[in-house]
Amino acid sequence: MNIVVCIKQVPDTTKVKINPETNTLMREGVESIINPFDMYAIEEGVQLRESNGGTVKVLTMGPPQAETALREAIALGADEVYLVSDRAFAGSDTWVTAYTLAAAIRKMGPVDLIICGKQAIDGDTAQVGPSLAHQLGIPFVAFIRKVRTAGSDEMVVERMFEEGYEVVNLPLPGLMTVVKEINEPRMPSLKGKMKAKKAEITTFARKDLEVKDPHLGLDGSPTRVVKIFSPDLSRSGVKWQEEPAEMAKKLVEGLKEQKIL
Amino acid sequence: MSVVVIKEECNGCEDCLASCPYDAIEMVDGVAWINEKCTLCLACIEACPVGAIIQEESKIELPDLDKDAYSGIWIFAEQRNGKVSTVAVELLGAGRKLAETTGEMLTAVLLGHDMEEAARELVHYGADEVLYVDDPLLAGFNDGPYASVLSDLIEERKPSIVLAGATFMGRSFIPMVASRVRTGLTADCTALDIDPDTGDLMQTRPAFGGNIMATIICPQHRPQMATVRHKVMHPATKDPHHKGEVHIIRGVDESRVDNRTKVLEVVEEIIDTVNLAEADIIVSGGRGLGGPDGFKIIRELALVLDGAVGSSRSAVDSGWIPYSHQVGQTGKTVQPKLYIACGISGAVQHLAGMQAADVIVAINKDADAPIFDVATYGLVGDVFQIIPEIIRSVNASRGQ
């Protein structure tokens, strides 16, 4: 099975804080990591290779430093890694990212399955996976929590929805986006880490891909950010530090007054 | 177009470096300089105390878009098992506000089978027009047919705005539609407004895990598409006298429909206690509970109040309670009348999921926990002492 896993290097947003004085982002000590959902995508690719044979190629689009994410992917079991990087790609929104990734995938040989994480924790849109499937003209399924069977022509998977899951058949070549329920990512092995140090990274720059100018980078992106601001969630309320029984009584009285109870 | 530092204005304070999540700013000769790692998130523009960082306009000539050729505000009325989801009513509420500002028509789009009555009911929730496409192929959701049909409708009728719920369904197939129609899509919006100068849709959404809010526009492409979070917008009120036209389009052109994936089975899982997303009262537990056993007391209180059980991400990641209970940026967004946060510190990512609750009660040992900034009632103390007292008081007030 020829598997391609698309990953993204992102700042660890769970560690990003807001500077209380200026109300702006503070990146002190915030490291760049592989997007958490993509770790599950890599693990799923590796598990499918273990059961079906084949290769796992990991692809990312980003600045040159994204190379560290690719080396980590090797340590986690990827066979080959690819970096799509060029100043021309900077500022891409999800449509353009999918367009550019598709151009790279077309240069990577035959593909049976593309696996993406559900969403990136910086943009949070969950859009690149489905857009990429459209660009490549292949069927896709999103929010996959389990692979039931995987053959050469099709897979049967469980996709999540609010009240449960649906069992869906995905013909191959196809694309799936995965959620955290799907597996437990393994730790990188010592052997993997050694391999990662020496691994060769294939880079695709603009000149290596068949892409058209108006569709690249920020200029090709239909959406753009015009403003960012800190959410003001504060509300005025009461704060008590008394005997539990006292506070409980006051609370219940207050809630009854407000007709909540 | 890019983000640049105006060298003459830069005072070398390095506040921008500290704010950049992508490590894209360096000091060169005492002045800030933005390198190729920049993703145009605009965090630095916000952080600069002297306004020395700006967003440069694009020098590329884009073909002029005839915005007047696009008209109408569409909402996608999601349905499962023949029942229209409540998110559609919220979209109609949000859509109506936009329609009043722009003067456009509000249309609801429904895809399904044997749902004529549901289609007519959408008029009562404010739709001026309903486009109902009826075909057995559309009875159950699947990405291929839904994306094909909606894309075709959009290309044919050219709405200026298309809104859908940021549900599993919406976040799955709407990106495919935006891709096909070659337009911009903003996911998970919590606010929608119209720019008075340009008439463009201003789409506000949380970013960086909910740490910051971003306002996004789609100035040169149409329609402007957005998925909207469930339980954020106020639902439209029912008006049986509201008039609107229902257009029933029978049958889809199968040759145009992508039908490659097939749904083999639908499995509904019963989650214990009340459905979290719809609950009026939620009792939620976090790291302060100390372990899975801590949730016993949470469940007791939820039972007494006839509410649902929620959780912070921390407790879920520690394996104390299943993900289906998680409230927050990467869990569910809830809008209950009462949210009781027990042993939850109040990280921004959690607040993103529950700050719209009418009344928030916070119970935490740490008097400085950020949750107290958003609480209507803050109770500082031991959760395991306080909750039993609350249960006692509630029972007493009911005369038990």
Predicted local distance difference test score (pLDDT) of residue B270: 64
In whole angstroms, give the CA distance from residue B38 to residue B235: 39
What is the distance in angstroms between the Cα of B215 and the nearest Cα belonging to chain A? Answer: 5
CB B161 within 8 A of CB B185: no
- Confidence band for B320, pLDDT divided at 50, 70 and 90: very high
- Confidence band for B153, pLDDT divided at 50, 70 and 90: very high
Q: In what order do the strands lie in the sheet with B212-217?
A: A224-229, B212-217, B201-207, B191-194
- Reply yes or no on whether the pLDDT at B60 is more than 70: no
In whole angstroms, give the CA distance from residue B96 to residue B92: 6
In whole angstroms, give the CA distance from residue B127 to residue B73: 10
Contact: A229, B60; criterion CB under 8 Å: no
* Same fold across B3-55 and B276-397: no
How confident is the model over B230-259, as a mean pLDDT? 91
Average pLDDT in chain B: 91
- Confidence band for B314, pLDDT divided at 50, 70 and 90: very high
Predicted local distance difference test score (pLDDT) of residue B274: 53
Question: What CATH topology corresponds to B67-256?
Answer: Rossmann fold (3.40.50)
Which has the minimum average pLDDT: A151-160, A225-234, B200-209, B368-377? Answer: A225-234
Which residues does chain B have within 8 Å of residue A241's beta carbon, measured at their own beta carbons? 367, 380-381
Amino acid sitting at position B60: I
A-B CB pairs within 8 A amount to 326
Which has the minimum average pLDDT: A237-251, B6-20, B203-217? Answer: B203-217
Contact: B390, A225; criterion CB under 8 Å: no
In whole angstroms, give the CA distance from residue B290 to residue B282: 20
- pLDDT above 70 coverage of chain B, percent: 96
Q: Taking the domains of chain A in order of start, what are their residue ranges? A: 2-220
B185, B213, B337 member nearest A229 (Cβ): B213
Tell me phi and psi for residue B327, to 5 degrees: -110, 130
Which of B60, B208, B358 is most worth mutating to test chain A (most A CB atoms within 10 A of its CB)? B208
| Contacting A residues, span 112-141, partner chain B, CB-CB under 8 Å | 121-131, 133-135, 139-141
Instruction: Give CATH for domain B3-55.
Output: 3.30.70.20
What is the distance in angstroms between the Cα of B5 and the nearest Cα belonging to chain A? Answer: 16
Q: Taking the domains of chain B in order of start, what are their residue ranges? A: 3-55, 67-256, 276-397
The DSSP letter of residue B333 is -
Q: Please give the full DSSP string across A67-79, using - where no structure is assigned.
A: HHHHHHHHHTT-S
- Reply yes or no on whether the pLDDT at B272 is more than 70: no
Homologous superfamily in CATH for domain A2-220: HUPs (3.40.50.620)
Instruction: Give the chain A residue whose CA is nearest to the CA of B390.
Output: A248
Contact: A238, B376; criterion CB under 8 Å: yes
Which residues does chain B have within 8 Å of residue A19's beta carbon, measured at their own beta carbons? 18-19, 47
A156, A225, A247 member nearest B214 (Cβ): A225
Which residues does chain A have within 8 Å of residue B216's beta carbon, measured at their own beta carbons? 223-226
CB B38 within 8 A of CB B2: yes
Per-residue model confidence as pLDDT tens digits over A68-77: 999 999 999 9
Q: Which residue would you say has higher pLDDT here, A239 or B57? A: A239
Output the tens digit of pLDDT for each of chain A's 261 residues.
999 999 999 988 777 776 766 667 777 778 899 999 999 999 999 999 999 999 999 999 999 999 999 999 999 999 999 999 998 888 888 888 999 999 999 999 999 999 999 999 888 888 999 999 999 999 999 999 999 999 999 999 999 988 889 999 999 999 999 998 899 999 999 999 999 999 999 999 999 999 987 778 777 788 888 888 877 777 888 999 999 999 999 999 999 998 888
How confident is the model over B251-278, as a mean pLDDT? 81
Contact: A239, B375; criterion CB under 8 Å: yes
Predicted local distance difference test score (pLDDT) of residue B273: 45
| Contacting A residues, span 75-104, partner chain B, CB-CB under 8 Å | 87, 90-91, 93-95, 98
Question: In terms of Cα–Cα distance, which of B55, B57, B58 is closest to B44?
Answer: B55
Which residues does chain A have within 8 Å of residue B361's beta carbon, measured at their own beta carbons? 251
- Confidence band for B229, pLDDT divided at 50, 70 and 90: confident
CB B31 within 8 A of CB B52: no
Question: What CATH topology corresponds to B276-397?
Answer: Rossmann fold (3.40.50)
